[in-house]
């Protein structure tokens, strides 16, 4: 079964450019590290810098809210 979820505070170093075509892959790696073993990441659906203004910027990093699709065991 496929489910869409959101992680609200994914921290990405400033040197990673969100305009690069590899950015969803960077986010996927960060999300996969945080998922429980019974969930398999299928795709990154979308992201919003600073969680759509929920977070204050921090020096050296960008914080993202990231939506993704997982398969549950």
Q: For residue 49, give both structure tokens.
A: 């810098």
pTM of the predicted structure, to 2 decimals: 0.85
Residue recorded with tokens 């450019």: 17
Specify the pLDDT at position 36: 95
**Beta-carbon neighbour count of residue 8 at 10 Å?**
13
**Nearest CA among 53, 41, 40, 42 for reference residue 8:** 53
Please state the domain extents for the chain: 2-72
Using one digit for the tens of pLDDT, what is the confidence trace for 9-57? Answer: 899 988 888 788 899 999 999 999 999 999 999 999 999 988 767 777 7
Please, are residues 8 and 37 in contact by the beta-carbon 8 Å criterion?
no
């Amino acid at each position: 079964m496929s489910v869409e979820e959101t992680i609200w505070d994914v921290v990405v170093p400033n040197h990673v450019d969100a305009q690069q075509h590899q950015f969803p892959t960077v986010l996927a790696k960060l999300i996969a590290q945080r998922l429980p073993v019974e969930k398999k990441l299928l795709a990154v659906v979308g992201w919003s810098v600073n969680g759509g203004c929920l977070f204050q910027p921090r020096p050296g990093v960008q914080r993202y809210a990231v939506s993704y699709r997982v398969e549950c065991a």
